[in-house]
Each structure stands twice: as structure tokens, then as C-alpha cells.
Amino acid sequence: MSHKSVLALFCIVSVHSLYAFAFDSPDETGFQTYIVHIEPPVSQILASFDDLDNYYSSFLPSTLNSDEALRIIHSYHNVMKGFSAKLSAEEVKEMEKIEGFLSARPEKVLPMHTTHTPDFLGLHQDFGFWRDSNFGEGVIIGVIDSGVIPDHPSFSDVGMPPPPAKWKGKCDFNLTTCNNKIIGARTFMSSIDTPLDSVGHGTHTASTAAGNFVQGANFFGLANGTAVGIAPRAHLAIYKVCSISCSESAIIAAMDAAIDDGVDVLSISLGGSSDGFYDDSIALGAYSAMERGIFVSCSAGNSGPFNRTLSNEAPWILTVGASTIDRKLAASVTLGNNEIINGQSGFQPFDVSLLPLVYPGNNATDSDAPFCFPSSLNNTNITGKIVLCEVGGGLGRVAKGQAVKDAGGLAMILMNTPSRGYTVAPDAHVLPAIHVAFEFGQKIKAYLNSSVSPSASITYNGTIIGDRQAPAVASFSSRGPSFISPGILKPDIIGPGVNILAAWSESVENNTNTNANFNIISGTSMSCPHLSGVAALIKSVRPDWSPAAIKSAMITTANQLNLGNLPIEDEWQLQQANIFAIGAGHVNPSKASNPGLVYDIEPKEYISYLCGLNYTNRKVGVIVQRRVNCSEESNIPEAQLNYPSFSIRNRTIPQTYTRTVTNVGDPVSTYIVEIVPPAGIDVKVEPTTLIFSELNQKLTYQVTFTSSGGVVSTIFSEGYIQWTSINYSVRSPIAVRFIDFSSLRF
């Protein structure tokens, strides 16, 4: 598996998603966009942005005339010291000779990667944490994405106060378009001069995080209710960096601007496969944001169910996986043998009576046939029949239905591949259709192969709420362990990311003369803004908390049980979700607002952690933006960082780490430790009791991990440490790896 960085929007929609990345290519003049890192001179004080920009200009070739000087695209001041510019390879070679030059590389250019969720998360309008937090009022959420449709009803500013006095951003729309909800909107794409959303993704994520109340929201009459974001009284600042693709130079510029503008939370539903933090633009920007007290929530990626497929792994980022909610847009297939198969569909026009059933994939000579490509359907008589199609193969789910319809089919059954397991999507199909899990698809195939004249009917059951198996981990949600820093447990947490209803850029059409300005899509792109909204709620009631404290509160209070009071399952194979799929568990906003204890981290502590990764002084300096000498720092192993979880590699020599907790609960309180050790490991905690006498008091404990002996048959195991007082339970998960994951992907 390649671990070159990929930047993409992490949603799964009904078009084919491309996941390969590309570097910016030279244009007809031989120029391409480079990201240039420089080191400011020690002897020269650069007192202003203008001084810094002038210093950047000194690196450009002296042969540039005034017009060519416009080749600088963005100057960076916060995320990194450097700039992006259109340069030739020869010019870069000349630049390398200048004192202060660190590196230059071509930028990466990528293709693109709710009415119910607040209630599902236990947020109720008239009582509890949601009301007590005043719905996130006064907090600014910055959304770095594909822009926004500002006149969507989700972005009404009815009931919204003016922006906080600290707000310094601007609006690239006309003066009357931004309001007290969308207080800023900017574009950082050189070819696009408006933050208007042309693809829908940014509108969807922004409304999920902080959309205002919209009554009567629905998706073709389904999932009807009042649409609202997680922090509906929070302000939104929009930063457009993507259209069909996302440019790295624009992402850096947007994060740079957001830091200056005064946002409190950054929501970033894009990312890529693993790179060192010094070469990861989002990690660099998130570090600078964290230093200024800005909480950063990022999507984990959609490359599950395989291990070691995460994006956004830095410990100063909240890395969010995707889970299901308890709402289904239910449908069922009744086979000719009376067996009933359940699934979902977002378009439920009318029940389909008993019709012949056909599977084009039985044509063994055509590899595209199982996926219902138009050319393949010409070789199978599907007129007047229900057609079974497999997802994937390079053709979108709705596009498959269009191909079936064009070839004379009357309805479609979509079946999952093995890796997609039980995670299905209720798309806006163009004909009667249903999406079923892989196991159920196999049953349909078995019936087809056993019947002389197979047939089926489809029944639509509307919106059903109350699935006791929710939340479950989505099969597509990327998994740990972390590739770059396996000593930090990632993902951190999971949140709603499957079949999420939220605002959309245009009316969703399905060629049946019906449309909707809300859309249901899935991905860790959808789970990320849920957690961004939760962070805004916590920030509203705990304005003095650091990003690390807010993250700790979410992690240590996360749920491990579903609505049926059973362990959370993984929709890949409907088995109990493991720690590298679920992280600490599923977010519980109300508990996170009052966790009892938090594990805080000062920004300077990350320097010891980064030096402990054996990064060079220069690489650490790129991240923290100052000169660092690791030989003078107290280098620490990864697991020694004061993180609210543990991720270790089993060794015969005992490993001992310390953690420091801060009392944010009852001023006078006593916590007693409970230990559930991972299989094959003994865990010892000293002391076993923590006694606090005041708020914000800090106490330290020590954890020693040793092998318990015997043969361990698993490649990893998990457990936890939990501190419990009269009113609080503070849980830290433990992951132990028994083998080296460096070459393992499964």
C-alpha cells in the first residue's frame, strides 16, 4: 500500500469516487505549483506580514519581471513559513542555493474523496446539555470544504446574535449575502472567485455542524422532520478549497486565514493517506491552530474495513470515524421462494409486484456484467425484469439504475461487495430500487441459481426509527493502527456518518420530476462535522478549555454499547467492533460536557513527542515553526504523551508511562481505578486512588504494562483503565499490538 499523501473529500455519494492522488502537472509554459518551505533568518526580525512577504519574494528568480512575479499564489504566515508559486523545475534548482531555503515540492491535487442525529445523540431542544450550552452560541466554526449555498434555509440567521468582537474575517460574497449565521465566506481557489458550492459537500458538512432549525426537511418525502445542525447557534466561517478536486496550496491558505480570522473550531472533512507530520499540510495547519487554542476535527477516511488506512493521524487532531444512526429508509425484497431480504432505498415511488429476476453477472465472459455497465446489459435480456447489480466496478449506484432503466429493466437490487458488508445507502434512484448487504446478496444469488424461473417483488416501508443495533461502525470507515505514530490510538472516536440528511447545493434530482434541497450521503466527511458541532457546544460552556481538554472529554466519556445495550458492532461482518475501528467509542455529547477529569496537553509537550519520533531538528522545526534542538529536549516515547488512551507494542521488558489528570468535576472527590487488562498483558496502576481537594488540581499516576506469559493467539488485544468517583467515570482505552503492523494490511 502506498502511503503518499492523498487529499480528498471523505464522503461516499452515488457517483464513482476516485481515490488516486496526483501532483500538479506543468502547464504549457513549463510551470507548476510548488509548495516552498523557508526558514526566516535568525539575524533579521520580520515584524509584519509585509516583511515576511518581502522575504518570500527574495527567493524568486531575479529574472522575473513584474508580471511574472504574480506567479506567487499564496503567502503563508501561520500554518508554515513559506509560499506557493508557479515555478519551473530549473527555477526551483536555483532557489535551492539561497540561504534559508528548506524544501520545495509540487503540490498535490486530488479528485473528491440532519433531521434526526441531534436526537440520536441525546440532544434535546427543551432540556439538558443542548439547551444549557445555548446551542453553541458565540462559537465560530470554520469549515474548510467546497464552499456553501448561503441562501439555503439551513443558513438563516433568525435568532442569531451578531459575530463576536474578535471576528476578523471577510465575505467574498456580496455585502448582503453573509449574515449572522454565515459571518464569513472566502475562496482560495485561483480559478474560482466565489465561495459558492457547486458540488454540495461543503453545504452538507456546514449545515451538519451548525445549520439552523428548518421544519419540514425531507428526502423525497422520507426522513421528514426538523433539520438542525449540532450547534445551531454557532456562527459559520466558510473556506472554499475544493470543487471537483482539492488543491493543497488552497488548503494551507485557508487554514492560515482561519487562524487569523478568529475561528474557535475547524472542521475539515478531507485528507489523505499517511505522510510524516512535517509533510502533511493538514497536520501542519492543525498544529498552528491548536497552539492558538483552536479545536481541529478531521475525518478519518473511507478506506475501511482495511487496517492502517487512516488519514489525519496527528495527536493534536480529533480523528473521527463513521457510525450508523437508528433511522432506516426501509425496503424489502420478497423472493419467489417467499424468503424476505431487508435493505434500504431513498426513492420509494411504489411497491413492485412479482417480476422475473435476472443477474447479468452470470455472463462469465464479461467482467463488467456484475456491475451492470450499459455495454454489458446489451448482452442480457432484462426488459420488464428486476435486475441484480453489484456495487463498485467504477460505476456509481444511481448510474447503474439509469443503465438498467435505459435497457428496459423495471427495478434494481443493489448488492454489496464483501468489503462493504452490511453498510447500505438509500440513494435517490431513478427507478424502483433497493440496496442490500453482501450476505443478503449472496442469498439472492443462491436463489437465482436454484430456480428455473426466479422472481421477486419489492416492498417499501418508509422511514423507521429505533434500530437497536445502532450505532455500528460503517464498513467504509478507515481503521488504525496509525501508520505514522502507532503509539497514539487512532481513530479517536466515532460519530454519525451513515445516511446523514443535511443541506445540499442544488435540488437533488432523480429524473422523476421530483427533487429535494436536502440530501442523504455517507462518509467520515459526515461524522467529522458532527464532532465539530459537539466541540462547539463544549467550547460554549467551557470557554477556557484547551483543544486537548475538549478532546479528552469526548474520548473518556464515549459509549461502548449500542441502543440495545450490547457492544457496538462493525458493519463489515456484524461482529463486535475492535479498538482500531471504534477508537474510544461513540461520542456522548452530554457526558463530554462534564467528564470529571481531563488529560490536558500543553503545546510544548508535543515537541518532546515529535523528537521521540526520531524526526530531525529541521522536521520538528517545520511543524512547530521555530528552531528546535532535540538533543536539548526531553524526548519521550509516543505512549508517554499525556493522551487519554494507550497504544503500545508488546515487549518482554516492562513499559511504564505516566498520565496527569486535571479535576474539572466535583472540587472534593475521590477516584478509584478499575483495570480491565488486554489479553496477554498485566496492567499495574499506581496509585490506585486519586484524591482531589479543589477544582483544576492535577494529579499524576503511573501505568506499567508487562507480559502475562503464555501464548497469545491474537495480533492485538484491548482493555481499559477507568477512574470512577461517586458522580463520574473516566475511561481510557488500551490497545496492545503483538506483531509489527508495518507490512500488514487486511
Could you give the residue numbers annotated as active site? Answer: 145, 201, 525
> Residue 326 in contact with residue 312, Cβ under 8 Å?
no
> What's the CA gap between 271 and 9, in Å, rounded?
7
> What's the CA gap between 430 and 443, in Å, rounded?
25
**Per the structure block, which three cell numbers stand in for 715?**
495480533
Report in angstroms the alpha-carbon separations of 625 from 5, 77, 284, 285: 21, 10, 9, 11
Reported in sequence order, the residue ranges of 371-510 that DSSP labels E, i.e. its strands, are: 386-390, 411-415, 433-436, 455-465, 493-496, 500-509
Handedness of CA 188, 191, 193, 199 (dihedral sign): negative
Q: Give which of 504, 437, 17 is closest to 218, Cα–Cα.
A: 504
Q: Measure CA 222 to chain center.
A: 26
b/e burial code for range 527-539 (CB count within 10 A of at least 16 → b): bbbbbbbbbbbbb
Q: What are phi and psi of 503, to 5 degrees?
A: -60, 155
Report in angstroms the alpha-carbon separations of 105 from 242, 622, 740: 20, 14, 31
Q: Which residues pair with 319 in a beta bridge?
A: 298
Q: Measure CA 266 to chain center.
A: 12
Q: Measure CA 247 to chain center.
A: 18
Reported in sequence order, the residue ranges of 625-697 that DSSP labels E, i.e. its strands, are: 646-649, 655-663, 669-676, 681-686, 689-692
Alpha helices for 267-332 (secondary structure H): 281-291
> What's the CA gap between 234 and 136, in Å, rounded?
5
Q: Which helix (H) or strand (E) holds 118?
A: helix 117-120
| Sequence-ordered list of residues with C-beta below 8 angstroms from that of 142, at least 6 positions apart, any chain | 236, 237, 238, 239, 258, 261, 263, 265, 266, 267
Q: Which helix (H) or strand (E) holds 723?
A: strand 716-724
Q: Helix axis angle, 524-541 relative to 547-556, nearest 10°?
A: 110
At 385, which amino acid appears?
K
